[in-house]
Structures are given as C-alpha cells and as structure tokens.
Chain A
Amino acid sequence: MKLNLHVNGQRRSVDVDPRTPLVWVLRDELDLKGTKFGCGMSLCGACTVHVDGAPVRACVTQVSTVADKAITTIEGVGATPVGSKVQAAWLAVDVVQCGYCQAGQIMSATALLARNAKPSDADIDAAMTGNLCRCGTYTRIRAAIKQVADLSTDKSEG
C-alpha cells in the first residue's frame, strides 16, 4: 500500500504493508537508522520518535496511523530549538557510553523540555522511566536535562 509520510519536514512516499511498525519504515524504507529497535513491545524506548510533537514508540505504531502527521526522528530533532539544546547538553555532559539508547533518550527528553522548561526530578522520572539505558548513564541523562533547563531559566531571567 502506498503511503505519504511527513518526516523531518519532508514528504516521503513508501509502499509497505500498512500494519508495518513505523520503526522499520523509518530504518529500512527511508534509511533513517537513528531510530533503534530494542524490544518491539514499547518497553525500552529506544525507538522513540515525535508524532505531532508527542513522544511515541515507533515499534508499536503502525505506519498507516501516522500517514498525515508530522514525524520527527533523531535525524531531524536538531532542527528544533529544544532538540538542538538537548543534543548539545548530551555532548557537554558526555552522557554516551554504548549510545544505543541515546536517540530515544534525547527524543523523550526533548519532548519533556518542550512542554516543561524546568522539570523537577519527579517530572524527569515520569518522562524518562520508559527509556532503558543498559549502560546506566541515568546520572548523566538527568544532569544533561537539568543543564538544558538551567540554560533556559538563565535566559528568561537575564
């Protein structure tokens, strides 16, 4: 079935089974390999993308359900004001170990910070608990989110 998708600001056309999970369409039809497969059951968050700005697990999202919506992946999130700050903070704090979960972590963190510029620890827990990091970089994930929050606060105060 032919579907028109709107990915990272571009129109993309694919011909796939409409039930295909979005993660495989992104990775293997559109060659956007940044979105990762980890569990296939919405348990690890490695496949997190934004659909109309909200974080969604692409491994359990049938592609036909997002045909008319704005999809943002890790490859495109740097073009958003919050996404670029989150990526910069991830580098400044040196969050990454193996790096496999980090695309999903960045997508979840960006969605959090876009709607809540100064999240509390409880807010961070609520937004990020669906994203597993097997290397245990949680300490630095929290620090990087707070760094973005502090920068935005400084700006609003200054």
Chain B
Amino acid sequence: MAMHVLPETAPGTGVSRRAFLKVSALVGGGLLLDFHLPNVRAAVAGGAGEALNAFITVMPDGAIGIRAKNPEIGQGVKTMLPMLIADEFDVDWKNVRIEQALADGVKYGPQFAGGSTATPINWDPLRRVGAAARQMMLQAAAASMSVPVSELKTQSGSVLHVPTGRKLTYGELAAAAAKLPAPDLKTVKLKDPKDFTIIGKPMPGVDSPLVVTGKPLFGIDVTVPGMKYAIYAKCPVFGGKLVKANVDALKSLPGVRHAFVLRGNASAAGSTGPLDRLVDGVAIVADSWWLAEQAREKLEVEWDEGSAAHDSDARFADEAAKLKGQTPAAYIVKNGNVDAALARAARVVEADYAYPFLAHATLEPQNCTASYADGKLTLWAPTQNPESNRKLVAATLGIAPQDITVHMTRCGGGFGRRGASDYAVEAAAISKQVGVPVKLLWNRADDIRHDFYRPAGFHHFKAALDEHGKLTAFRDHFVTLGSVEQPGSSAFAGPDEFPARFVPDMEFAASFIASGVPTGPLRAPESNGLAFAFQSFIDELAHAAGRDPLQFRLDLLGEPRILDSTDDRYGHQPDFDTSRMRGVLELVREKSGWNSRQKLPAGTGMGTAFYYSHMGYFAEVVQATVSGNGALKVDKVWVAADVGSQIINPLGAENQVQGAVLDGIGQSLLRLNIDNGRAVQSNFHDYTLLRINQAPPVEVHFRTTPNPPTGLGEPALPPVIPALCNAIYAACGKRVRRLPIEPATLARA
C-alpha cells in the first residue's frame, strides 16, 4: 500500500475551505472543541478518505485533554501531533493529557501510520486548531472581564489582563467559551515560530513512563473477560489450499476447546494477494496460548500447494538474467538517445545489481483480539490502518462496517506490516465461529513466513562518461516481481528516480517476473532497494571518472534550481529543489571530515550517498573498516537532513533518524529466501536482525530551510545502505553489487 498524501488546501493556510470547528459544552462546565477538517486528498490503495479531526477538551479544573487520532507504532506521533495543538493553544505541556482515539473514519477521517505523512499533513491544520481554541479563550475572557481582547494575552493556560494583572484560567473560562461560535480556522492567528514554547523543545514520549514500568499497552496485552487463545495454521506455500486436517484428533488434547478448518474466500479487494482476504487454515482455540501451540504440534494437514510452489530465488535470478537482455516490458523514463550517447562515450560502465526479499519482523508478532456477539464485532488491533481492518473484515465476514468497533492499541513496531489486515480477519473469523472473545497470536515462524515482503529486485545498469568524466547517458533495465504485465506492490519505481531529469539521454526500463510471493511496503518502500542500486552505481561512475564521489554527486545535481516532478502515480508530487540536496551533501561533507578521509588507516574507508524520499533530503556518510579476513565493522554514520523549517520534537526526531539508519544497516545484512514457494527463514537465528554490538554511533545534523516541515519515519533509511557499500569499496576495493553484504566475500586474498 503506497501512500502519498498531499494536502488540498485554501492557498496559504493549509486548511480546506470546508473546514469547520464545532463547539460544545461538556457536563460539568467543560469545553469540547470538535475540529472537522476535510482537507486531505489521500491516494491510498484500497480506500481514500478526506477528513481530519481532532479533539480538545478543557475541564473546569484546567486539565487539558488532546486526543491523538493516529496509530502509535514507535514513530512518536502520539507525542508530536498534540505538541502542535498545545503550543498554539498556549498551555503547559505538563497539564496536557493525551488519549488515543478510537478508529472512526466518519469522525476522524483517515487514521493511518504510513508514508512519513503525519508531519506534512498536520503541521498547519493542527496548529490552527490550537490557535482557534486560544482565540476562544481570549474572547471568553474579554466578555467576562468586560475589557477589549487587545488588552489580553494568554499565558500557559490562563488569560491575563495586561493593564491590571487580572487572570482567569482556561478552566474557569471553559464553560463560557463553550457558548461562543467557533472561529474561522483560515483567519486564526498563528504564532511567530520564535514564540513557540513546546514545538522545537525536546519532549520525551508521552507513554514512555508506562513502557518502562511494563504497563499493558500493546495489542498482545489485551485481555477481555471470557477470552480464549487461538492459533491459525496456514499453508507454508503462499496461496495454498487445505485438502484435509486431523482436527477431530486435536479436540481431545489438553486445554483445547475448538479445532476447525476455515475456508478462505476470494479477495475482497479483487487482487490475487493472500493478505486481503481470509486464506485456508486450521484454527485451534484453547484455554491458553501455549496449550494451543502444543496442540499445533499434533496437527497433520494435507495442503494443495498450488502454482506458487515453483517460486524460488534461483528461478527469479535465472529469469532476471534472461529478461535483462530482452526488450523491456515497459519504460519508466525514455529520454534522448542512449545508444548514440553510449557509442560516442569516452568510457562505458556496466554493472548488475540485486537485492533480496525482506520480512518486516516487528518484534511484537501479529495478533488481534476479536469479540463477536449478536452480529456485532469488536477488535483490539495493533494496526497502522484501522479503517482497513474494518473494511476488510466487513467485506470478508459479511458484518456491516458500522457494527465493527476497532480499538487501536500501541504497536510493537510497524514498518509497514500493520497496514495489512490479514491477522484481524483471522481473529474475527475465529471469534465469529466460536462465539466467544478470542486472542489470536502468531508465533515467530508464522510472522516471518506469512508476511508480505520487500520485493527482490534486479538492475542492469549501463552508463556513459565523456572525456572529462561527466555522466552523459544512463540506462537501467529493472527486472522486478509481480505478474507478467505489471509490478507487484512496492515493486516499482517512478520517473523521478535520480539521475532522471539530470542526464539528457536516459532510459529507465522495466520487465516483470510473475511471482506468487506477496510483496508490499517495508519502511521506505521502493526507495530501500532503489537507493542501494542507483547510489552504488553512481559511486562506480565517480570512481571510473577518477572523481571524489561526493563532489561528483554535487556536480551531477548542478546549479541550484527547482525541478518539476514527473511522477503522477499517486497524484502530483512535490518539486525537487537541488539546493536542498546540495545543502545536506555539503553539510555531511563538513561534519564527517570527508575531505580528510585519505588519512584513515588502511582497511578503513568512507562512503557517501544521498536520497530523496517522503519529501526529505538526506545525505549520509558511513565510515567502515574491513579486516583482512573480511570482518566488517561499521565505525560511524553521519547524517545531514533537510526536512524543512522546523524540527517539531528534536528528541523524537533524532531517535527516528538513528533508528532508521540502524534499520538500513540491518537491512543491508539481511535476506529472506524463497524456495519451493515458501519463506525459508523462521526465527531470529536465521533472520538475523541487527544487534547492539553491530550498531555504530549515528551523528545527526538537521539543516533547516524555509520549507514546510516533513516527516522522519522513513527518509533517513535509504541512503545509508549505499553509503555503507560505498564505504566498503573505499576500505577494501570490493564492490558490493548484491545484497545482503556477505562479509566472507570481502576477505582479501
């Protein structure tokens, strides 16, 4: 599910003309500000929404409540979004209580975590909500004190009459404010950024005190009275069908209450993927999850594995090797005459790049608690997309959407995985069958083997350099997975892929391999593979040209200018400002000591890369050491980032960037293999996530520029992978053209 969401707003305000505020009084003299803001045009595969909504409550005792509408997956939105409201409202952050909203598409509009979109979507509108509430407090105080608003100012949850020093708290004003008409959001006065008291200040995560003391917060922690525990065993080959299972033999095992076959159904979304429907499986419901797992060991199932059983890494690699020399199936970019440019080149550089499938491996395995009774369903789901849970469960099980309540729990990691609703459908179907609340929990093998994956990809590059070492032509034949005619989810690329728009003669072609392996977004989808291939090959070109790889990139970017996007796959995308990318490259050059890298000891090298994704401009330098036997140590990473004019929460922002960089280093060392149509790896002994002893220091520098703030969950990830591979080349002369990095292949003879 790719998500690129752009605000559709009244000029200069970030707020739709249709936005409005609704004011109401709360029992006991409180104020409720219901903000209805249909200002977002969302192009979300599988459903689009058009409204945003937030709540502020003010109680008579001065307590401020702000409702957090989006899922918290570790990206910090439950802290960051309320900061926007609280600062403009001019309240003391210590007095703000933040509550997670229910999933309610009618009330709140889109509630999802994806695409690093929370900041760009909410930066302006949520500040206006806070400013409107502040204006109402000023008006209420003016009426109450019989003074003009011009003599009043707000001060940390109170309104002060400047000439006399008289003061009324927001709590005291709440009942009167609740009777006022709502201000026009488009004309409310926003703070000058220099007056921010909360935005830009380091704010620890609001739920962290609960996390470090072990309070129940996550989906797996949900308990419902009368609840039983379930597992759901599925065919190891994607799309396989159940022939028969020994369910009757399981029913007499200790603690087992139910054991039955559920038949899958056709895709609710009309696609062939196994994640948008219920698939065949065996449900075991028991008094404890461990007893259900014990019963699974006695399960005997015959599967019809289907056509996907022929899928394997080897088949995909063979087909890619064949396809790369054939006429491409499609062109993403076709400009000028690449053949002619290659023919007159001083130097031609050619290379094949490849990267593997990757699983998400959220540390909290997929789970969902479902309670079905009398035609109504309640779900407690760790989800990045609760509305998708509702829609898919409704379509799959024939329950009316309005009869489904979705509670969003904190997620033990998301990374894109919890944008799908397969586990919610399974939990709902099992509860519907047995008539009691059920907590479905996948074990780790379920989680790795029934994921959708970052698709493997293959790139055949050919480029021309002139006698001055200047890049004159660039060709990539990208072989990717999907059906014969088209790419699968997150298995493609757009026409803005660098160096498109920077080289006159450019071809970016694609061919497709039919595959039954489900694919989809993993943190920085598409970019996480493309950045490796493109920014590594550009490094090869720099070396072939005998140039400093960082300066070579600056020269490729050229003069400061703004380039229109040519990518309309998800609606119009923002323009690309070369000065912003140049700015972060120059900053990371300075901070990393790039120009002194020749002084590094033998076996140690620096590599660089830049990448633009999710509206963020990132340039990174990695220093790595490769010993004679190939042992790899990542010594340090420097990040320079431009995500606009304001870092909203510096503490959270640095954490996100450091985490994304370590995630990228982890990705560069990982692979998920496919053989006989199934995922080979099953747990953390063979799916080897990055550990603390492999984690380098990550130094983060933000370069603020006068542009609207954008998100940080994803864009720091893509460039670190090629920067690391380029550092390995600088350290030991071995070029990594295939991920994962295999340290044994880096050994010097």
Interface residues of A (CB under 8 A from B): 16-17, 20-21, 24, 28, 31-41, 43-44, 46, 73-75, 78, 87, 90-91, 94-103, 106, 124-125, 128-129, 131-142
Contact = CB atoms under 8 A, between A and B. Distances in A.
27 contacts: A17-B290, A28-B289, A31-B223, A32-B214, A33-B223, A38-B363, A38-B444, A40-B443, A41-B444, A41-B683, A44-B363, A46-B363, A78-B213, A90-B212, A91-B208, A96-B74, A96-B205, A98-B412, A99-B74, A99-B217, A125-B692, A132-B691, A133-B692, A135-B659, A136-B661, A140-B658, A141-B692
B692 A138 contact: yes
A125 B693 contact: yes
B209 A91 contact: yes
Which of B202, B212, B288, B412 has the largest number of chain A CB atoms within 10 A?
Answer: B212
Contact of B444 (A20, A39, A91): A39
B690 interface: yes
A43 B697 CA distance: 24
A59 to B, nearest CB: 10
Interface of B: 73-76, 202, 204-205, 207-209, 211-218, 220-221, 223, 229, 254, 288-291, 361-365, 410-415, 441, 443-444, 651-652, 655-656, 658-663, 666, 683-685, 689-693, 695, 697-698
A136 to B, nearest CB: 3
Contacts of B683: 39-41, 43
Contact of B362 (A35, A40, A134): A134
A91 B74 CA distance: 15
Nearest to A35: B214
Contacts of A41: 444, 683-685
Given A17-B254, A135-B74, A34 B651 contact: no
A33 B444 contact: no
B658 A37 contact: no
Given A96-B205, A98-B411, A132 B443 contact: no
| Residue with the highest number of chain B CB atoms closer than 10 Å, among A16, A39, A44 | A39
B622 to A, nearest CB: 15
Contacts of A87: 212-213
A142 B662 CA distance: 14
Contacts of B658: 136-137, 139-140
Contacts of A100: 218, 362-364, 412-413
The 10 closest A-B pairs by CB, nearest first: A34-B214, A98-B74, A100-B412, A136-B662, A74-B214, A99-B211, A97-B74, A138-B695, A43-B684, A136-B659
Nearest to B203: A94
A156 to B, nearest CB: 25
A40 B108 CA distance: 38
B212 A129 contact: no
Given A99-B410, A128-B692, A39 B74 contact: no
A142 B208 contact: no
A92 to B, nearest CB: 8
Contacts of B651: 94
Contacts of B215: 33-34
Given A38-B365, A78-B213, A94-B204, A129 B693 contact: yes
A151 B291 CA distance: 46
A127 to B, nearest CB: 9
A9 B413 CA distance: 32
A99 B213 contact: no
Nearest to A39: B444
Given A24-B288, A34-B214, A132-B689, A97 B364 contact: no
Contact of B690 (A17, A91, A136, A142): A136
With most chain A CB atoms within 10 A of its CB, the pick from B211, B218, B412, B685 is B211
Nearest to A108: B692
Given A97-B655, A99-B410, A135-B413, A37 B365 contact: yes
A39 B364 CA distance: 9
Given A28-B288, A43-B685, A106-B212, 10 more contacts: A39-B683, A94-B204, A96-B208, A97-B655, A99-B205, A99-B208, A100-B218, A125-B692, A134-B362, A137-B658
Contacts of B214: 32-35, 73-75, 103
A24 B655 CA distance: 32
Given A20-B290, A74-B213, A100-B412, A44 B684 contact: yes
A129 B220 contact: no
Best-surrounded residue of A37, A100, A140, A141 (most CB of chain B within 10 A): A100
A24 B287 CA distance: 12
A101 B363 contact: yes
A93 to B, nearest CB: 9
Contacts of B412: 36, 98-101
B212 A139 contact: no
A98 B73 contact: yes
Nearest to B661: A136
Nearest to B412: A100
A131 B208 contact: no
B289 A40 contact: no
A128 B365 CA distance: 21
Contacts of B208: 90-91, 94-96, 99
Contacts of B652: 94
Contacts of A90: 208, 212
Most buried by B among A43, A75, A91, A96: A96
A106 B211 CA distance: 10
A102 B210 CA distance: 11
B92 to A, nearest CB: 19
A5 to B, nearest CB: 16
Contacts of A136: 658-663, 666, 690, 695
Contacts of B656: 97
Nearest to A138: B695
A74 B217 CA distance: 14
Contact of A132 (B217, B661, B684): B684
Contacts of B685: 41, 43
Contacts of B443: 40
Contact of B684 (A20, A39, A102, A141): A39
A134 B689 contact: yes
Contacts of A106: 212
B207 A99 contact: yes
A139 B218 CA distance: 24
Nearest to B699: A139
A137 B655 contact: yes
A129 B656 CA distance: 21
Nearest to B415: A134
B98 to A, nearest CB: 15
Nearest to B695: A138
Contacts of B205: 94, 96, 99
